[in-house]
Structures are given as C-alpha cells and as structure tokens.
C-alpha cells in the first residue's frame, strides 16, 4: 500500500479512535504528513516479510504532554536528526520507520518523517493504541533493549542515552522532555526486522486505515458502524458536565464526568485520565479499564476527541473495545494494567464486564 493524500485522512481518524484519547491531536500530525507527502511523494507501507531480517527498524514518536503539542508544533526535521544520530551511534543504516504508538498524532507524524527521509513505514507499532509511559510497549515485553535512545527537540538539541531498562528510560527521557519545553521526539527500542516480527504489534497502521474508512463510508449511525467494526461497546451517550485537567510532570492528568441523556435516568460516567483514558467508572463500578481502549467520540460524527480537547458541554459518546492480545498476558498486565497506574483493581476484559456486543 502507498500512503498518500487520499489515505492519510482515514489513517488520522483511525489513529484517533485507537488512541484512547492520547498520542496528541491527530489533526497536527495529519497536516504535517499531508505537507510532507505533497512535497516528497507517498510513503510505502511494508510488512516485515518484505524486508531482510537483519535490517534496522527505527521506532519514532513524540514524548511529553499532549496539551503542549497543541501550541508547540514540530520543526519537521526531527526525524532526520534522530536518524542521523541513530546511524552514527549504531554504525548501521535505518531501513524503515515504525510508529512508536499508533494512537493520535504519533500514528500520523511518522508518515511525515518517512516521506522526508524517503524510507518505508513498517505496518506496526509498539502498542496497538496509546499509553502514557515510554516502556509500555510490546518490545519491552519481548525483551528488546530500549538502548540506545535518541531524543531531539525542535531546536536540534540532541541527547543520546543508554538506559539500563525501561524504568530508567522513562525517568531520564521524561525529565529531558520537560527540559526541552514539555515535548520531544525520540527513538528507542531499535530493533531488527526479525525482532520486530516477534516484538511489535503488527498490522496496526493498516488497522487504523480500515477504521477510518469505516467511518468515512458509514451510511447509518457512524458510532454503530464503528462499534461493529471494532467489536466495541457504548458506555454512555451524553454531555460532558465536568472536566478537571492539569499538565504536570510531563503528563496531562485529571478526570472527566459525562452526564447521560435524560432517558438514561441521570447516569454519570467518570473517566480517569493520564494522557489517555484509563478507567471508566459508574456508581463506583468499573465499566472498562486499561489496557482495553476507552475513547470519547463526538456523538454526531464519531470522531475521537483527545483528552486535551475535552470541554464542558460537548455532546459525546464514550465507547470501549478490546486491546491487542499482548496486553492481556501476565507480562502485559504487569506493564500496563490498572495496577501499573496505581489503581487498586484487577483487570477484567471489557467483554467480560459488559457481555457480548449486540
């Protein structure tokens, strides 16, 4: 597949749905990708089977609070600067770029960098969604080293670190992103194609495109058609009645309350946020929780609303659907389950909590 100006809007809509509210506003990444593709031509989307096993895959994405990215946009050359540093420290050429996460702007922006560099984009990512912490990737579960890590900002400051594990990757890089002004571009968990075959969430770029096309081609209620496509659930339709959100420690943290429609008898749904929507609670009961995907949609269009753009009075529909199976393993839940975010609750799959989709 070639990712061109016709495909990119569908990719952006799909990335927004998969983001669970995080990853940055896809509109910004979409604009950057559209401009890069117009200037340099479309990007080839490849599977690992199309590349030699010993070639290098460079995951690439933005780190920091999504709220900062609304006003502090990229330079455009960050991908080139990261690639130059990666090739310098490893002594090996980069064969393809892979989104670090498929969610939000982080699913779109790598298309821009790939177009500018003339590299293909691997059909995969590290999460199958968006997560707030850097080591919350499938490569960490697969035992792939996060080192070396290359971080740059829009001023061409470059930092190369060799964290000993994912914990130190997060500590060092989060503080660096804050020092850079709240956001940075980084590559970590460099891997070969052979390692990507066992360590990445494959097929996620094409999955995002398919979700976007489902919305684009919807002939009935777009929310219904989306939920049928992703085997998802409506948690509540209503109006945002309260928003508490602050940017602190390199994250957007807070909570949102959605008040149900009058016919729902005054139901209230509370969403807990840390860049992404992590837990949905109703009357103290868990309706869905991380690592399953909780997304807030515009009720009319079914377009996803990032957590940093949630506002009082918006008419929304909150949905949830299953995550990639890697996150339902013991290692996946230890890394990105509710207890990894200090919630005192055990994970239960959304289909167990809510039953079979109808």
Q: Residues with Cβ < 8 Å from 152, sequence gap 6 or more?
A: 78, 81, 82, 85, 158, 159, 184, 185, 186
- pLDDT of 261 reads 84
pLDDT confidence band for 266 (50 / 70 / 90): confident
Size (the chain), residues: 358
The per-residue b/e assignment along 286-322, b for 16 or more CB within 10 angstroms, e otherwise, is bbbbbbbbbbbbebeebbbbbbbebeeebebbbbbbb
3-state secondary structure of 216: helix
pLDDT in tens, 286-311: 999 999 999 999 999 999 999 989 99
CB neighbourhood size of 253 (10 A) = 17
Indicate the range of 34-48, 108-122, 139-153, 235-249 predicted with least confidence.
235-249
pLDDT in tens, 268-284: 999 999 889 999 999 99
């Amino acid at each position: 597949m070639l990712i061109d100006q016709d495909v990119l809007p569908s990719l952006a809509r799909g990335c927004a749905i998969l983001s669970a509210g995080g990853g940055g506003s896809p509109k910004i990444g979409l604009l950057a990708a559209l401009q890069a593709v117009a200037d340099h031509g479309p990007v080839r989307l490849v599977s690992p089977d199309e590349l030699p096993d010993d070639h290098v895959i460079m995951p690439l994405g933005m780190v920091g609070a999504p709220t900062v990215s609304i006003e502090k946009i990229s330079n455009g050359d960050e991908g080139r600067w990261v690639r130059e540093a990666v090739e310098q420290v490893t002594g090996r050429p980069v064969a393809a770029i892979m989104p670090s996460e498929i969610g939000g702007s982080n699913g779109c922006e790598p298309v821009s960098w790939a177009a500018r560099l003339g590299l293909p984009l691997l059909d995969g990512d590290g999460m199958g969604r968006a997560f707030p912490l850097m080591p919350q990737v499938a490569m960490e579960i697969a035992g792939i080293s996060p080192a070396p890590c290359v971080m740059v900002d829009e001023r061409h400051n470059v930092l190369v670190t060799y964290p000993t594990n994912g914990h130190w990757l997060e500590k060092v890089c989060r503080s660096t992103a804050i020092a850079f002004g709240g956001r940075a571009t980084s590559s970590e968990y460099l891997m070969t194609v052979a390692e990507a075959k066992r360590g990445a969430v494959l097929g996620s770029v094409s999955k995002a495109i398919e979700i976007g096309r489902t919305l684009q081609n919807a002939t009935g209620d777009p929310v219904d058609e989306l939920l049928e496509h992703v085997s998802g659930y409506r948690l509540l339709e209503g109006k945002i009645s309260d928003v508490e959100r602050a940017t602190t420690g390199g994250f957007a943290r807070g909570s949102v309350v959605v008040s149900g429609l009058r016919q729902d008898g005054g139901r209230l749904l509370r969403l807990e946020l840390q860049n992404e929507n992590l837990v949905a609670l109703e009357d103290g009961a868990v309706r869905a929780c991380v690592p399953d995907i909780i997304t807030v949609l515009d009720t009319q269009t079914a377009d996803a609303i990032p957590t940093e753009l949630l506002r009082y009075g918006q008419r929304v529909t909150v949905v949830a659907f299953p995550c990639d199976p890697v996150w339902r393993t013991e290692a996946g839940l230890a890394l990105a389950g509710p207890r990894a975010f200090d919630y005192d609750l055990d994970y239960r799959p959304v289909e167990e909590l809510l039953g079979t989709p109808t």
